[in-house]
Chain A
Amino acid sequence: MSNNSIAVEITEVSKRYGYLQALKSVSLEIGASEFLVFSGHNGAGKTTLLKIIATHISPSSGTVKIFGADAFKNGGETRRRIGLVTHESFLYDELTVRENLLFYAKLFGAGEEDFLATVDFLGLKRWYNVRVKQLSHGLRKRADIVRALIHNPDLILLDEPFSGLDTKTCDVLVDYFKSHEGKGKTLLISSHSLEWSKKICDKGILLDKGKIVGEMTF
């Protein structure tokens, strides 16, 4: 594969938190436009792997390349191409949905017109000028997804995107992410349950105790 066709290239990546070895020499190549899920039990290392790909934490050893460039040497440029949604919301309670999105948009050099369609698609129009602290968990998650995709990233990382959501919201998210297929986007989901992820992804990687132990095709 040429560099352009590889979205993520992980080589011998390990991560240690004190005495805890979260990842053990993980090597992986993920092609551009792939929709892939990392699965495994709690503590398997899924979130750590996703956070390392997102450049949120650096590995104890090993290298990570995003679209051919060293992720940590070009942190700012790498983050321009990544959209990350975690189980924690990155939105500010005191600000409205619009103010939150404008804050992130401004720093990514995007404008309001760049995310209004996503706001509409995810059914947030009614809540657009409501403070985030007044939103339910599902609505907050939708707003967080708009926040992550505000700069039209090529690599979308979702950590447990369906946890705690009702069926209707999960359906909305599945429809939304399915609509990205064939548009050159790479989607990585971390989830301990495959029920919803299987509807979006065509491939899965199984992690256990910080190691890749298997691959799945759906």
Chain B
Amino acid sequence: MKNIRSGEFQRAALGVAEKDLRTEFRRSYEILSILSFSVGSILICSFAWSGSGGGGVTDPEVAGAALWVILFFSSILVFTTSFTREADRGTLGGLKTLPCSSLAILFGKIIYGTALLFFVECVLIPFSIIFLNIELGTRFPALLLVCFLGAIGLAFAGSFVSGLVMFSEGKTLLLSFLLIPVCMPVLIPSVMATKKIVSGSGIAEVIPELRLLIAFLFLITAIMVLTFEFVLEE
């Protein structure tokens, strides 16, 4: 990373993220389709499982799984528009002309993915609480922390995989297949932590899961630093 000047990495990453978010919100039908998928799925889960935990409350295991399955599939929809759209439209060449490292571009995509997933979560979490009849009380911030940390993990994994498959044939299918194993280290602790919080545990009891999520972020960052310079080349 010889070509990273102080502050330039940050400026490049934020610039790419801002451009992507601006582009995404001009294509509002894509965001609406992700939101309608999330809300529709929660409604279906609500009809199927509401009261499975007794007293009209959804079983914590079911609620945690439902939330993360929906978030995972929403993330697939988000990451099919990350690097793959740049490659399809030829605008990736423009990113290659920039005087920044390819890692800065990747981090821009991660910020964009995280922001979109946060946006989806802002709709999904209240809907889940209402329609899955989850009783959280003072544990709501703990659930938010787990969901946001999990979304960051999904954004790291999703952006990296989106970059890896962007020149492949059948990239959308490949992205979905590859995301499942790569996202497992994010999904397992996130589901476990969500289940604990919905069952009544506090933040102290989910610290092992949060540690796993943070360890995954360190690991995937190390892999990205070592490999991503070569990924952008056709």
Contact = CB atoms under 8 A, between A and B. Distances in A.
B15 A106 contact: yes
Contacts of A33: none
Interface string B1-30: 011100000011001101100110011000
Nearest to A17: B234
Interface of B: 2-4, 11-12, 15-16, 18-19, 22-23, 26-27, 89-91, 93-94, 96-101, 233-234
Contacts of A90: 90-91, 93-94, 97
Chain A interface residue number, banded: 20 to 34
Contact of B19 (A74, A77, A103, A151): A103
A205 interface: no
A88 interface: yes
Contact of A95 (B2, B4, B12, B22): B22
A148 B23 CA distance: 20
Contacts of B98: 79, 104, 107-108
Interface centre among B27, B90, B99, B234 (most CB of A within 10 A): B99
A148 B22 CA distance: 21
A181 interface: no
Given A58-B233, A106-B11, A107-B100, A89 B3 contact: no
A56 B93 CA distance: 8
Contacts of A92: 19, 23, 89, 91
Given A84-B97, A88-B93, A94-B26, A76 B11 contact: no
Contacts of B26: 94-95
B78 to A, nearest CB: 16
Given A77-B3, A106-B11, A95 B19 contact: yes
